[in-house]
Each structure stands twice: as structure tokens, then as C-alpha cells.
């Protein structure tokens, strides 16, 4: 069964297919009037309220912050990377009959989805805006080197409305501004004193690829922090996918993991290397950063999802294997 996030993506793409009779993929481009998303934007409240924090890496403790749920539902649930936001967009397409006014030859809307790697964003922006190889590289370089100096994880997931001839520098300003508003402005010095922004972005990127929704992000965040506290390897398959997807001849950015991938020679191989990967493996949403900073308190060190995306976690490897055998007849 597809994950909740996958279903949301498919539903959004389905709306566009009904509207235009075609789809252009996850990094989707639609020809539209700028007014379409301006109407939705009135519901989007930008705030500089700092991220709450419920983890203390120095003392290796997790104390759940009661402000997390309110922050998520009152602040992030109205931002454009939130699943509920995308659902409202789909409803508005139908209720307002905007599909009758979408055939503009001058404007474009491009979407960065949570959990996409930088190469995916680069390709989608380049394909949509008809950029050359050099222009695509320029766009990536401008975003990666903008202040603050963070090489990865800064292509903020959202929709971006622009004109059809937008240049790399124009789009870099839009993407960087969105990151600064949604992440950097909320990452005050007090938050950074608890968890450096680089670490939060790395963990958030792992959660985007490993979890099915915000609640599950917090659960897996608890497992990740527990392992970090004990200096255990994280052993996350998403990092193996990233390592393999970075190889020049690999046809997919997120290939299916094979047992042999656990021996890939890469700094991103969390089966072979302790601690966090050197950079984020994907571009995380605000909710993933919030989950990275606010893990669930748990004694679990191991977890997996079944074929229906149900989540199981265990404090010991023996219990982990027992659950796998109970469901599948064997450990895996």
C-alpha cells in the first residue's frame, strides 16, 4: 500500500491530469494564472516563532515538548509543504473552477516535493524552464552557497510561481528566500545551541525518506537519537539508496536496496559508518525539521514498516527479529 505522502503526491498530480490532460511528473510544471496560488496564499501565515526543542544531545536525553503539536497544527499545517495544504489546493481547483483559467502562456508553477534530492530538483527546474546544463549548475551553486553556508538541504519543498523565462538567479532567490523564512527564521540561536542546524537538516532528510507522516517522523527520530546517544550505527536503508543513487551509472536516484549495498564504500553508508551522514540526503520540509528536534521518547533501537506501512519498533535486536519472523516467517 502506498504511503500517505505518496498518495498525496498522486492525488495532486491527478488533479493536474484532469485539468490539463497530461502530467509532467513529481517536479510538475503547469501553465497557470498567478492568481491561482495567490488565493491559497491568503491562508498561509508566515511566522517567526522558534522551533520548539525536545532533545538534549549533550546530556543524551529526550524530554517531549508539549508545544510540538500546537506548533505543527497551528503553524506548519498552513504552509505549502504540509499535506493538508496540498489537499486544500486540490479542493480549491474544483470548487473555484480555476481550471478554466489555467492556460496562460507566460507563467509557470514548479513544485519541489519533500524528500527530493538536489539532483531531482535540478533536473525538474531545468526541464521546466528550458535551462542549459550551465544554467542548471548555476542554479544549484547559487542556492548551495547562499548564506547561511549550507551545501545541501536548502532547496525548500514548496510551490514556486514564476514566469516562463525565469533565470537561474531569479529562481535561486525564490528558493533561498523560502528556506530562510520557513527554516532559518525559526532556527534561533537558542535552538542552534541545542542542536546545530546542519545536524537537524541531516536528521530531517533521513526522516523524509524513512517515515510515512509527521507522527512516524517523530517516532523514527526517537530511534535515531537513541542510536546516536549510544554511538551505534544508524543503519538506515535510505542512506544506502542515496549512496547508490549518487553513482554515475545508477539509473535511479532512489534504487531498491540490495543486501550487498550494506558494503558500499561511501561516507553515506550508515551501516559501515557511525554518526550522521556528512550532509542531508534530501531536501526536508519544516515538519521534518520539527520532528528531528522533537523525537518521541522511546526505548526502541530498531524499527521497520510492513507492506501496509504499519510501524513496528523494538528495544532489542532479538525482539526486532521476532517481530519480523512473526510477520514474514523469517528475519530480514
C-alpha torsion angle, residues 132, 135, 141, 147 (rounded to 10)? -150
Backbone angles phi, psi at 50, to 5 degrees: -65, 150
This prediction has a pTM of 0.80
What is the dihedral angle through the alpha carbons of 125, 129, 130, 135, rounded to the nearest 10 degrees? -60
The three three-digit cell numbers of residue 85, written as one number: 495544504
Q: Which of the 8 DSSP states describes residue 282?
A: S
State the Cα–Cα distance between residues 269 and 174, nearest whole angstrom.
33
Q: Which backbone phi and psi does 40 adopt, to 5 degrees? A: -65, -35
Query: Count of H helices and E strands in the chain?
Result: 13, 7
Exposed (0-12), middle (13-18) or buried (19+): which is 260, by Cβ within 10 Å? exposed
Tens digits of pLDDT across the chain (332 residues):
555 555 555 555 444 444 443 333 333 333 333 333 333 333 334 447 899 999 999 999 999 888 899 899 888 865 544 544 444 444 444 443 343 334 457 888 888 999 999 999 999 999 999 999 999 999 999 999 887 777 789 999 998 988 989 999 999 999 999 999 999 999 999 999 999 999 999 999 999 999 999 999 999 999 999 999 999 999 999 999 999 999 988 889 999 999 999 999 999 999 999 999 999 999 999 999 999 999 999 999 999 999 888 999 999 999 999 999 988 876 55
Amino acid at each position: 500500500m502506498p504511503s500517505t505522502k505518496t498518495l498525496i503526491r498522486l492525488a495532486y498530480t491527478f488533479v493536474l491530469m484532469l485539468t490539463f490532460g497530461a502530467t509532467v511528473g513529481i517536479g510538475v510544471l503547469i501553465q497557470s494564472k498567478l492568481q491561482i496560488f495567490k488565493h491559497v496564499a491568503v491562508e498561509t501565515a508566515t511566522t517567526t516563532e522558534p522551533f520548539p526543542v525536545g532533545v538534549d544531545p549533550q546530556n543524551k536525553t529526550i524530554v517531549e515538548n508539549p508545544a510540538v503539536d500546537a506548533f505543527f497544527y497551528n503553524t506548519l499545517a498552513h504552509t505549502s509543504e504540509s499535506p493538508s495544504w496540498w489537499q486544500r489546493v486540490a479542493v480549491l481547483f474544483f470548487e473555484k473552477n480555476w481550471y478554466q483559467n489555467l492556460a496562460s502562456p507566460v507563467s509557470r508553477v514548479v513544485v519541489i516535493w519533500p524528500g527530493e534530492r538536489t539532483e531531482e530538483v535540478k533536473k525538474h527546474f531545468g526541464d521546466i524552464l528550458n535551462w542549459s546544463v550551465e544554467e542548471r549548475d548555476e542554479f544549484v551553486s547559487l542556492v548551495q552557497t547562499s548564506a547561511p553556508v549550507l551545501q545541501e538541504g536548502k532547496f525548500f519543498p514548496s510551490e514556486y510561481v514564476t514566469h516562463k523565462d525565469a533565470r537561474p538567479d531569479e529562481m535561486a532567490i525564490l528558493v533561498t528566500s523560502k528556506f530562510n523564512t520557513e527554516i532559518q527564521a525559526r532556527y534561533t540561536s537558542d535552538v542552534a545551541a541545542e542542536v546545530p542546524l546542519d545536524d537537524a537538516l541531516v536528521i530531517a532528510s533521513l526522516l523524509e525518506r524513512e517515515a510515512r507522516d509527521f507522527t512516524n517522523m517523530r517516532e523514527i527520530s526517537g530511534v535515531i537519537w537513541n542510536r546516536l546517544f549510544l554511538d551505534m550505527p544508524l543503519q538506515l536503508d535510505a542512506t544506502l539508496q542515496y549512496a547508490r543513487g549518487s553513482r554515475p551509472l545508477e539509473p535511479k536516484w532512489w534504487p531498491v536496496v540490495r543486501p550487498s549495498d550494506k558494503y558500499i564504500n561511501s561516507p553515506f553508508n550508515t551501516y559501515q559508518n557511525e554518526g550522521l551522514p556528512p550532509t542531508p540526503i534530501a531536501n526536508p520540509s519544516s515538519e521534518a525539521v520539527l520532528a528531528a528536534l522533537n523525537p518521541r521518547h522511546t526505548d526502541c533501537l530498531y524499527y521497520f514498516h510492513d507492506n501496509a506501512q504499519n510501524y513496528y519498533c523494538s528495544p532489542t535486536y532479538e525482539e526486532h527479529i521476532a517481530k519480523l519472523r512473526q510477520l514474514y516467517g523469517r528475519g530480514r
